[in-house]
Amino acid sequence: MTRKKKNSNIIYTEDARTILDHIPKKEMVTATITSPPYFDMKDYGGEDQIGFGQSYEEYLFDLQTVFQNVFQITKENGTLWIVIDTFKKEGQVVPLPFDLVSKLLEVGWLLQDIIIWKKDKTVPWSTKGFMQRKFEYILFFSKTTSFKYNKDQVRIYDTSHLKKWWVKYPERYNPRGKALDEVWEYPIPTQGSWGEKYVKHFCPLPTDMVGTMIQLTTDEKDIVMDPFAGSGSVLAQSAYMNREYLGFEINSEYVQMFKNYLAKTLKKGKAKYEMFTKDNDQDNFENTILNLRSLKYAKVLQKSIEKEGIKSEYYIYVDRIGNSDLKHKIIKVEYVFIGAVSKEDINIILPEYIAKPPLSKFGVEPIFKFRKRIPQRRKELFGYTSTNTHSFLTEITKKIDKRVKIISPIKVQLNENEF
């Protein structure tokens, strides 16, 4: 019986220009994440290597060849991430990232974005007219316009990283968190931070940054590739995150050290990833944002009604009742007008106000009802004022505080000064 040849979870001790000699299967890679060898600056320990000892034209040609081969084995929904920087030669800046973009466009890659990696710690090189390098470029390409892009999985939902007014203006924030911007701050890993006896590579990529790229453009079981694997940060992170990996690296010492290191850390790395995927902080943030939106919607609605001269004594009872199937809406919320308020008058003005900003921007599908009394519920009820719906004023008992205008089983108590 012939054993089926393995096509993933391999690092080849081979030149990246020979990719197609070693990977027979077409269109198998979902994402490639890499940092090419520096041009004529660092000897990576191989004969006829890319970069060291080459002319600039030869260097660009070889990089184009590598990424043309990568293009052929990339799926239609696949992407390419390249971390690269400018350099100075013969008294002037060489715009390598932009020269490389031109070469890759010829291949067929589509440039989707240019991201700035702010890395802080760096090799302290500076020359006349060239400041110390604190950032590099991340070029983000796709094979087609139908590329995989899991943007909701990498949103920033850590409230310490958000402007404090997210509490008062929840309608301005995506419930899944703030989208990534085009400046990424990740410090370069310090030597030895990967653990004992691991190879000291010239410039390893930060694992968290690599993890963001993997999470954004792949799913579990997809294949991630690095044609210039180096110390293997991309391959290791891929393995931790339940992705398959493929790598090429001409330095056999790096390859062996990577294999040894992965064997020692795989279990721990996978456990860390599993803990991350089970973390419900993002779900908690989403729930908080939607609660804040539901309550604030009632507050804005009351102000709109007051503008129409309706001064009746009433409360608005607010209750989230499910998700919405309507376009541009996220949740269904029941708003019950309780008290001496004219149903006819309210129904006349409601369509106009809910169809335009700001209420139309809340993602709320409102269901309006009218009752004489507060609905009987077993849950606790909380009272909010007409000016503050991010922190309840009081729990509702038999007697309702005169300042309370909004009543809800939704409990929110946030102090914006703490964020």
Lowest mean pLDDT across 8-17, 67-76, 158-167, 392-401 = 158-167
Q: Which domain does 49 fall in, by range?
A: 10-148+182-279
State whether residue 113 is helix, strand or coil.
strand
Task: Look at the pTM and tell me if it is higher than 0.85.
Answer: no
Residues 272 and 397 both lie in one domain = no
Domain containing residue 49: CATH number: 3.40.50.150
Share of the chain above pLDDT 70, in %: 87
The predicted structure's pLDDT at residue 200: 46
Instruction: Report pLDDT digits (tens) over 123-144.
Output: 555 555 556 668 899 999 999 9
Residues 115 and 262 both lie in one domain = yes
Task: Reply yes or no on whether the pLDDT at 194 is more than 70.
Answer: no
The CA-based angle 260-266-268, given to 5 degrees, is 125
What are the start-end ranges of the H helices in 92-176? 96-107
The predicted structure's pLDDT at residue 197: 39
Residues 364 and 403 both lie in one domain = yes
User: Which of 279, 308, 339 is the last residue in one of the domains?
Assistant: 279
Range among 197-211, 221-235, 271-285 with highest mean pLDDT value:
221-235
Reply yes or no: is the peptide bond before residue 358 cis, omega within 30 of 0.
Answer: yes
Q: How confident is the model at residue 165 (pLDDT cuts 50, 70, 90)?
A: confident
User: Which of 253, 279, 305 is the last residue in one of the domains?
Assistant: 279
Residues 320 and 221 both lie in one domain = no
Residues 68 and 205 both lie in one domain = yes
The predicted structure's pLDDT at residue 128: 57
Residues 411 and 304 both lie in one domain = yes
Residues 295 and 269 both lie in one domain = no
pLDDT mean over 204-215: 90
Q: Read out DSSP for 67-93?
A: HHHHHHTEEEEEEEEEEE--EEETTEE
pLDDT mean over 255-276: 90
- Tell me the average pLDDT of the chain: 86
Q: How confident is the model at residue 2 (pLDDT cuts 50, 70, 90)?
A: very low
pLDDT mean over 411-415: 92
Q: Is the pLDDT higher at 174 or at 417?
A: 174
The predicted structure's pLDDT at residue 130: 54
238-252 in b/e form (b: 16+ CB < 10 A) is bbbbbbbbbbbbbbe
pLDDT mean over 20-42: 85
Instruction: Report pLDDT digits (tens) over 284-323.
Output: 999 999 999 999 999 999 999 888 887 778 899 999 999 9
- Amino acid (one-letter) located at 59: Y
How many angstroms separate the CA atoms of 256 and 260, rounded?
6
Residues 244 and 335 both lie in one domain = no
Lowest mean pLDDT across 33-47, 50-64, 317-331 = 33-47
User: Which of 227, 256, 279 is the last residue in one of the domains?
Assistant: 279
Lowest mean pLDDT across 116-130, 219-233, 234-248, 310-324 = 116-130
127: DSSP letter: B
Q: Is the pLDDT higher at 48 or at 393?
A: 393
Lowest mean pLDDT across 11-20, 41-50, 301-310, 391-400 = 41-50
- Amino acid (one-letter) located at 152: D
Best CA proximity match to 44, nearest among 32, 34, 53: 53
In the block, tokens 């799926």 appear at: 75
Share of the chain above pLDDT 90, in %: 57
Residues 142 and 50 both lie in one domain = yes
Task: Reply yes or no on whether the pLDDT at 181 is more than 70.
Answer: yes
With respect to residue 256, please indicate whether it lies within any of the assigned structural domains.
yes
The three state secondary structure string of 254-280 is: HHHHHHHHHHHHHHHHHHHHHHHHHCC
Cα dihedral: 358, 359, 364, 368 (round 10)? 170
Number of folded domains that form the chain:
2
Residues 261 and 293 both lie in one domain = no
The predicted structure's pLDDT at residue 131: 62
